[in-house]
Structure 1
Amino acid sequence: MSAEATNPATPGPIAPEAHRRRSRPRIDLRRLGRAALLGSAGRGRLPDAISHVVEAHRAHHPDADLEPLRRAYVLAESSHRGQMRKSGEPYITHPLAVTLILAELGAETTTLTASLLHDTVEDTEVTLDQVREEFGEEVRYLVDGVTKLEKVDYGAAAEPETFRKMLVATGNDVRVMSIKLADRLHNMRTLGVMRPEKQARIAKVTRDVLIPLAERLGVQALKTELEDLVFAILHPEEYERTRGLIVDNAARPDDPLAEIAEEVRKILREAGLQAEVLIRPRHLVSLHRTSRKRGRLRGVDFGRLLVLVNEDADCYGVLGELHTCLTPVVSEFKDFIAVPKFNLYQSLHTAVALPQARTDSPGGTPMAGQVAEVLIRTHQMHKVAEAGVIALGNPYASPTEEQLDSDGERVDPTRPGWLSRLLDWQEAAPDPDTFWSTLREDLAQDREITVLRPDGGTIGLPAGASCVDAAYAQYGEDAHACMGARVNGRLATLSTVLRDGDTVQLLMGQDASSEPSREWLEHARTPAARIAIQRWLATHPSPDATPDAEISVAPLRPPVDSSAAPPSGANAVVDEPGATVRLAGCCTPVPPDAVTGFVVRGGVVTVHRVECAVVARMKDAGRKEVDVRWGDTTECRVTLVAESFGRPHLLADLTEAIALEGVAIVSATVEPPSQQRVRHTYTLQLPDAAHLPALMRAMRNVPGVYDVGRAQHQAATP
């Protein structure tokens, strides 16, 4: 149950965002509580408690059927009756507030119905079958998805397999995540009575997972407020300093942004362009970032101008007038209408300054040199920019003309490219740990670039991506045959780092035997490329390759064997009297891995994991296969590979994390850094094989480490 409560002493963010200005003042929870306690309205009559939800919903969907909302509220109120939040308000005020957030963003009726019911299955006697009987399969599915996501966040949030299952469910219908984001926003607004350590824990999960997801779903209205609330909890001193800057600026007698806004209105009126010109103040986190980037802030830095028009063509008309009558800053121009961002965002960005000094402002302040950022978009673009996928309605409803492509096929707006990629990765990733590291790495990307294909298509990639990443993004595993690229018409190596707006032509070989190079991994930034390359290398080991040479490090505990040779298997039992048993260095099997063995030179039996690529080669070579079972001893040796971003003291921190888990380091390899990335390979002696997952999690939690996995050496057939 979400039991956070309102705490008036907790400073809330100053909220000057446009979405706050155009919405009603925040609803009084006590008033909602009193309305809820009055009981249900008569049959067919809308209860007073949901009047605000209905009003907001009708503003976006005037013809909506309100009966499902009435029935959902009645069921939720009766089910939660007697449950209280820590503020003393009836618990029903929470789903009401969550639903109001979604209604103001334009969510359709099915989403609002599920939102009212989103805690009933988790916290009351209501079952999913009852929800299906009363409201249909669609509402049941959404309620079930939100329930599962709640367990992920407040339970074992870092358990990769659990999160993978939840993401698959969310990916089928992103309305699940929309409800979850609104749920988290209301809980963050009312987090004040929680213990500081719990506030910090919830804020960190919000920062690391939910805010990046809100960004990728395009729900800027939720993302910006969540950012400010997290900022207040995790960085209270910087938060208060930034609040002070806003208060001081508001007390100034003149407003340079208002001066420029009036000039823009005059220019557009004279040009006969119908447009609404608004001042859009920066939210706290945005202003904090701006102050760190620019130092001392000027009046125009506290916000941006927003110009809203009716048609796409008018956006470019406004741009032309502003660039003609004012002084444009050419380097600030970006066209996200022709090339939308990965999260559906469309807008023209520019920056302008008045051409000469203006002293007719109220304070007589000269205006020359004051540069204002300007956003130009249609009203529909603005709706999508604020609400993202929430503004795009029910993905299962009949498509509108705008949702059809040139071939008459539906363009699925609720499956943006990044989400489709993530779902593809979870299918391709060999294990949950690899997928979890993939997810964390993708969410850590703070911006994306768009590169152009010669055929007019686009490819979305993270900043810093190379031609290798572009190849796998466009061709999938067929990119193994890529031979080179042309960037902006010039031949380029596959290691070339791409910039926003580059045109990339990938040169593909026709030879079916073409294969990727291990060196490509050094240039692959996207998880999709890395997973594809690693999977190919694991299933096509080179017969001449040997494991990388190892360097010795001082063991933190006395090792069983300090040599670099494959460890002995006292642990593995074979039915070969007198045979020497060794664990294969290519796959480093440990209990309880399913294993098999082969007799090699000198009568030695090497033990491999059954999925090891060498097993198939051994069988093809006619080597004798031997049954292997694990003995009673639980001690084992394993080789792990940690991939990280380079930083000082990383090796010391990793070895300390391993030592704290009670594990001995037998040997270690540290490869030379490549593009600020470092690869560490450790052979470790574990007192208990069952401790391996905990050890891998401890290594992965070391700052800078983004992946830890079992070693997959390329080993020659003995």
Structure 2
Amino acid sequence: MSTIDALSENLTEYLDLPQILQVRRAYFYAEQAHDGQRRKSGEPYVTHPLAVASVLSEMHMDHQSLMAAMLHDVIEDTEISYEGIEGQFGQSVADIVDGVSKLTHLEFETKAEAQAENFQKMVLAMAEDIRVILVKLADRLHNMRTLGAMPPVKQRRIARETLDIYSPIAARLGMRDLQVELEDLAFQAFYPMRSRYIRRAVVKARGQRRDIITQIEQAIQGRLDQEHLPGVVTGREKHLYSIYKKMKSERKAFSEIMDVFAFRVVTESVDDCYRVLGAVHNLYKPVPGRFKDYIAIPKANGYQSLHTDLFGARGITIEVQIRTREMDAVASQGIAEHSHYKVYGDSASAVGSYNRARKWVQGLLEMQRRAGDSMEFIEHVKKDLFPDEVYVFTPKGRILELPRGATPVDFAYAVHTDVGNSCVSCRINRRLAPLSEPLQSGQTVEVITTPRAQPNMAWLNFVVTGKARSSIRHFLKNQQRHESIELGRRLLNQFMANYGCGIDDIDPDKLTELLTEADLPALDDLLEDIGMGNRMAYVVARRLKPETTEPESEAASPPGPAGQRKPMAIQGAEGMVMHYAKCCHPIPGDTIVGHISSGRGLVVHRSDCRNIGYMRDDPEKCLYLEWSGAGDEEYPVALSLSVESQRGIIAQLAMAVASAGANLLKIDSGERDGQLYRVHLELMVFNRVHLAKVIKQLRRQATVNHVIRH
């Protein structure tokens, strides 16, 4: 068991004496605060914060982080407040402690809402000071090391939560050593039998492989010495959880994974890395397509290294990683290696890792602001914790890192939210490509935008980044709200007109009473409810009508189709809260009625549609509409034809539709009725005049006997 004296001795390596004394003072303060409290294992509670501080000291974290680690449970488990810690140890330490305290009860499996809310708090705390998450990760690591004292059910829950959230966050921040230990401990707790089996197999395989590993190490080291290149060669062990994941995801046997021998070469400079690469490629033949340069293009978490696969002697495959000492430290500790918190040195790799982490956290913060609720936010974040990236270029040569499977829409939102919102098409390597095409590393992507464009709901089916998903949903929700309010305003005005007034003439007291009763904050929210069909405009108009109106007068009677004086005009363009019924395909020129559907808004039907017949005379569900303006939008329409069987008939029909200036979407044939075949067409037209032209062209065909519109 570690003691404060042993920790103080270790801290002399990199902290000044006054800073060490402050850490000791925080320890004694925590010891007094937790006096009488014990852990599940029976040890005094203060052993836990001391162990958390020891984990952070191995990362050479600054004295404020160590003090916060000592005090991280004080606010949660004792009577001491934020103000008490701030008075004793300063605002920075108190803020870190407060940030960690908010994250103590993350129950990820049992209470989804609580999980999501607390995860939002974690992001906000990380945005204030990224050291909060480092202290939290160290806290989780010690809890995982001592998990055996917990009941089995709780062990599994904590292990699952560690694999789902904490381990991916450690990976995203580049803290590989901590990530590996968290994963192995969680794997051992969640799958104890599988963990024991793989551990025994690894120990057995290690004994059989020792001679081969030694030979390869000596061969590589000998070649480096011969070339006078600095470098230390070591064999690299695969950890248990990574072996298990590979066996599961790649469906490989244990022996296949262990047949690959992994080595790491740590050298002095970037120049030496590339010279070492040349030396090992001369020693063993490289595997084509298996070289990756993460030095020139670092991973999203700041990781830098050269990776190459080689054909070794006796048909053995060798994986080699080549990096500098500085890159090796960053690969192990990630942002914890950042010199911003150190009293010595200045590492370009560490600064790059820290800056990427800050950028990621800022991206999370933007997503959090756009998300509708905490559950939606955590869904976006989980999409963002991908371990694999693709690297693509902008036309000006800037490199962007995206998750594997990302599309041009993800790329557009990564450039800027406004670029994504106005994206209409793209070019990949100078050729036009679909917006849904997955990107490959090395491609140059150019996004084509127009000012009037807006996101398409179908994009949600293929985007993979959290930022793209949250930005699209945010835009569509705002757009839908705006359209719902406008439709609600028109509907309410329509019915208020029957009482000789409009929305502007509503009595404020009546409106306030109705809003309070409906538990709505403002008039816009009431109009949105009306536009979405959740509240009937006719009923609301009756509640808000002026007192002077005679209840028995003609104006006050329900404005059904028979008594309605003026139909409501609708725009041609289809909005998000105005839909055209697929049963009758209304087009400009048709007589139309509107059915207010709960949750969807206004659904437009032709007035002779059978599906609307039973409600046509119900003023609460249906209102008469008219088309406003011609517009240049196209509308779908369905036709049914009886044709005589003849070679090339489908081509003739398609040519007839095209000659009338219509766009053919779909054609189905094959239903036989005696000597005639039934053909179904779906096409786009501007209005009834255009449709008449199409039908005329079809009837001119000698083989067409009959044309009916559905």
Q: 1:369 to 1:591 in 2, by over 3 A?
A: farther
In structure 2, what is the equivalent of residue 372 of structure 1? Answer: 318
In structure 2, what is the equivalent of residue 473 of structure 1? Answer: 414
Q: 1:199 to 1:612 in 2, by over 3 A?
A: farther
Q: Does 1:524 align with 2:463?
A: yes
Q: Does 1:425 align with 2:371?
A: no
Q: Deviations over 1:136-169 (max 9, x none)?
A: 1111110111100113348956323443233212
Return the match for 2:520 from 594, 599, 602.
594
Letter in 2 for 1:386: S
Unaligned ranges ≥5, structure 1: 1-28, 33-48, 355-366, 546-565, 567-573, 578-588, 599-605, 629-709
Q: 1:53 to 1:501 in 2, by over 3 A?
A: farther
The answer (yes or no) to whether the contact 1:543–1:715 under 8 Å persists in 2 is no
In structure 1, what is the equivalent of residue 159 of structure 2? Answer: 203
In structure 1, what is the equivalent of residue 96 of structure 2? Answer: 142
Q: Deviations over 1:453-505 (max 9, x none)?
A: 23232222222111011011112133222232222333222121112332222
Q: 1:52 to 1:458 in 2, by over 3 A?
A: farther
In structure 1, what is the equivalent of residue 266 of structure 2? Answer: 308
Q: How far did 1:339 drift?
A: 1.1
The answer (yes or no) to whether the contact 2:243–2:257 under 8 Å persists in 1 is no
In structure 1, what is the equivalent of residue 74 of structure 2? Answer: 120
Q: Does 1:245 align with 2:201?
A: yes
Q: How far did 1:170 drift?
A: 1.9
Three-state SS of the structure 1 residue aligned to 2:148 is: coil
Three-state SS of the structure 1 residue aligned to 2:233 is: strand
Q: Does 1:52 align with 2:6?
A: yes
Q: Deviations over 1:8-38 (max 9, x none)?
A: xxxxxxxxxxxxxxxxxxxxx2xx4xxxxxx
Return the match for 1:272 from 209, 218, 228.
228
In structure 2, what is the equivalent of residue 385 of structure 1? Answer: 331
Q: Distance between the aligned counterparts of 1:539 and 1:310, measured in 2? A: 54
Q: 1:381 to 1:614 in 2, by over 3 A?
A: farther
Unaligned ranges ≥5, structure 2: 489-495, 500-514, 546-597, 605-622, 626-710
Three-state SS of the structure 2 residue aligned to 1:214 is: helix
Matches within 5 A, 1:514-593: 514-540=453-479
Q: Distance between the aligned counterparts of 1:149 and 1:173, measured in 2? A: 14
Q: How far did 1:289 drift?
A: 3.2
Relative to the length of structure 1, the TM-score reads 0.65
Q: How far did 1:93 drift?
A: 1.2
Return the match for 1:79 from 28, 33, 51.
33
Q: Distance between the aligned counterparts of 1:99 and 1:245, measured in 2? A: 35
Q: Distance between the aligned counterparts of 2:435 and 2:169, measured in 1? A: 30
Three-state SS of the structure 1 residue aligned to 2:43 is: coil
Return the match for 1:496 from 397, 420, 437.
437
Q: How far did 1:187 drift?
A: 0.8
Return the match for 1:102 from 47, 53, 56.
56
Letter in 2 for 1:325: L
Q: Distance between the aligned counterparts of 1:518 and 1:429, measured in 2? A: 16
The answer (yes or no) to whether the contact 2:407–2:436 under 8 Å persists in 1 is yes
Return the match for 1:212 from 149, 155, 168.
168
Q: Distance between the aligned counterparts of 2:373 and 2:104, measured in 1? A: 23
Q: 1:715 to 1:543 in 2, by over 3 A?
A: farther
Q: How far did 1:386 drift?
A: 0.9
Could you tell me the percent identity over the aligned residues?
A: 34
In structure 1, what is the equivalent of residue 648 of structure 2? Answer: none
Letter in 1 for 2:296: A
The answer (yes or no) to whether the contact 2:302–2:350 under 8 Å persists in 1 is no
Return the match for 1:434 from 370, 376, 392.
376
The answer (yes or no) to whether the contact 2:224–2:231 under 8 Å persists in 1 is yes
Q: Does 1:461 align with 2:402?
A: yes
The answer (yes or no) to whether the contact 1:249–1:299 under 8 Å persists in 2 is no
Three-state SS of the structure 2 residue aligned to 1:66 is: helix
The answer (yes or no) to whether the contact 1:102–1:179 under 8 Å persists in 2 is yes
In structure 2, what is the equivalent of residue 326 of structure 1? Answer: 284
Q: Deviations over 1:409-431 (max 9, x none)?
A: x9963734432221111111233
Q: Distance between the aligned counterparts of 2:483 and 2:20, measured in 1? A: 70
Q: Distance between the aligned counterparts of 1:625 and 1:412, measured in 2? A: 61
The answer (yes or no) to whether the contact 1:330–1:350 under 8 Å persists in 2 is no
Letter in 2 for 1:465: A
Q: 1:317 to 1:63 in 2, by over 3 A?
A: farther
Return the match for 2:311 from 353, 363, 387.
353
Q: 1:300 to 1:265 in 2, by over 3 A?
A: farther
Return the match for 1:482 from 423, 426, 447.
423
Q: Distance between the aligned counterparts of 1:202 and 1:119, measured in 2? A: 18
Q: Distance between the aligned counterparts of 2:77 and 2:518, measured in 1? A: 38
Which structure ranks higher in relative contact order (CA pairs < 8 Å, sequence separation ≥ 6)? 1
Q: Distance between the aligned counterparts of 1:246 and 1:438, measured in 2? A: 37
Letter in 2 for 1:94: H
Q: How far did 1:533 drift?
A: 2.4
Q: Does 1:131 align with 2:85?
A: yes
Larger proportion of helix: 2
The answer (yes or no) to whether the contact 2:393–2:400 under 8 Å persists in 1 is yes
The answer (yes or no) to whether the contact 1:164–1:426 under 8 Å persists in 2 is yes
Q: Distance between the aligned counterparts of 1:259 and 1:210, measured in 2? A: 38
Q: Distance between the aligned counterparts of 2:179 and 2:461, measured in 1? A: 33
Q: Distance between the aligned counterparts of 1:541 and 1:125, measured in 2? A: 48
Three-state SS of the structure 2 residue aligned to 1:227 is: helix
Letter in 2 for 1:487: I
Letter in 2 for 1:428: R
Q: Distance between the aligned counterparts of 1:403 and 1:268, measured in 2? A: 25
Corresponding pairs, count: 522
Q: Deviations over 1:51-97 (max 9, x none)?
A: 43334444455788322212112212222232222322222111111
Q: What's the Cα RMSD here?
A: 3.9
